[in-house]
Amino acid sequence: MDAKRVVDLLYWRDVKTTGVVFGAALLLLLSLTVCSIVSVCSYIGLALLSVTICFRIYKGILQAIQKSDEGHPFKQYLDQEVALSEDMVHKYSDMVLAKLNKTISELRRLFLVEDLVDSIKFAVLMWILTYVGALFNGLTILILALVGVFSCPIIYEKHQAQIDHYLALVNNQIKDVVGKIQAKVPGMKRKAE
């Protein structure tokens, strides 16, 4: 899936497609809050299998009544190649490996305090996440993230001027506070980059 299609999906350019993707993903996550992943996968498989078996039987009865020989109703899908190519697997595994290596080196840098300010920021983030973890479980955060990913871009697109104005105000306030803290605490001044 290329970047343009993802952007079109998140900005609701095709409402029907976005609605189906968003609804299916939200239904899956909500189902996981009630049932285990094994149960959810089994129910989805059973539902899909029930639909395809019923459709196959329906088409078979229809062919018997009309005395036609259309063949298997899913023949076009059975004839399609569904294997992953080696090139695609190598491409994506190399991308994942590069990101994993970058993440490991960044975590090493943060945990071994290469830069004191960055390590303190990371510690504050971890401290905040302990409170987030106490309030929400992982699935709740995923559901909130899914709703945010599908709603924030369109809200920002419609109200960009107001949002940019208030974000600039907040950003200036944060810079002022960080500047004051860095000026008062020894050893926290950023290196000139």
In a domain, 161, yes or no: no
CA dihedral sign of residues 13, 17, 23, 26: negative
In a domain, 48, yes or no: yes
Q: How confident is the model at residue 190 (pLDDT cuts 50, 70, 90)?
A: low
Interatomic CA distance for residues 85 and 82, integer angstroms: 9
In a domain, 65, yes or no: yes
pLDDT tens digits, 139-148: 898 999 999 9
The string of DSSP codes covering the chain is --HHHHHHHHTTSSHHHHHHHHHHHHHHHHHHHHS-HHHHHHHHHHHHHHHHHHHHHHHHHHHHHHT-----TTHHHHSS--PPPHHHHHHHHHHHHHHHHHHHHHHHHHHTTSSHHHHHHHHHHHHHHHHHHHH--HHHHHHHHHHHHHHHHHHHHHSHHHHHHHHHHHHHHHHHHHHHHHHHSTT-PPPP-
Answer yes or no: are the C-beta atoms of 122 and 1 closer than 8 Å.
Answer: no
- Mean pLDDT for the chain? 89
In a domain, 114, yes or no: no
Answer yes or no: are the C-beta atoms of 10 and 150 closer than 8 Å.
Answer: yes
pTM: 0.63
Q: Which domain holds residue 12?
A: 1-69
In a domain, 91, yes or no: no
pLDDT given for residue 193 in this prediction:
43
pLDDT tens digits, 72-111: 888 888 888 888 889 999 999 999 999 999 999 999 999 9
In a domain, 81, yes or no: no
Number of folded domains that form the chain: 1
How confident is the model over 153-166, as a mean pLDDT? 94
Q: Is the confidence at residue 1, as pLDDT, over 80?
A: no
In a domain, 14, yes or no: yes
pLDDT tens digits, 6-57: 899 999 999 999 999 999 999 999 988 888 888 988 999 999 999 999 999 9
In a domain, 57, yes or no: yes
